[in-house]
Amino acid sequence: MGQRWHGGSADYASRTGLPQKFDYTQVDKVYQSLKDNYNGKLTEQQVLDGLKHGLAQSTKDPYTEFFTATEAEQFSNDLQGTISGVGAKLELDQNGSVVVVAPISGSPADAAGIRAKDIIVAVDGKTTSGMTATEAVLKIRGKKGTQVKLTIVRDGKDQLDFTITRDNIHVPSVESKVLDGNIGYMQVSQFSDDTDELAAKAAREFQAQGVKQVILDLRDNPGGEVSAAVGLSGLWLDSGETVAQQRRGSVVSEEYRVSGGEPVLKGMKTVVLMNAGSASASEITALALRDQAHARIIGEKSYGKGVVQQLIPFDDGGSLKVTVGKWYSPKGTNIDKKGITPDQTVKPSDDDIKNKNDVQLQAAQDWLGWQN
CA distances to 28, 46, 175, 221, 267 from 50, in Å? 14, 6, 40, 31, 52
The continuous run of DSSP H or E covering 289 comes out as: helix 281-293
Q: Do residues 118 and 98 touch, judged by C-beta distance below 8 A?
A: no
Does 259 qualify as catalytic in the annotation?
no
CA dist 210 → 21, 127, 142, 262, 332 (Å) = 62, 53, 45, 17, 35
- b/e for 159-171, b at 16 or more Cβ within 10 A? eeebebebbebeb
The whole-angstrom distance between residue 104's C-alpha and the CA centroid of its chain comes to: 12
CA pair distance 151, 166, nearest whole angstrom: 16
H helix or E strand, kind and range, residue 323: strand 319-328
| Catalytically annotated residue among 305, 319, 321, 329 | 305
Our answer to whether residue 291 is catalytic in this structure is: yes
Residue 271: burial class (beta carbons within 10 Å; 0-12, 13-18, 19+): buried
**Long-range contact list for 47-53, CB < 8 A, 24+ apart?**
51/27, 52/318, 53/132
271 secondary structure, DSSP code: E
305 carries an active-site annotation: yes
Contact 298, 367 (CB under 8 A): yes
| Residues tagged active-site | 280, 291, 305
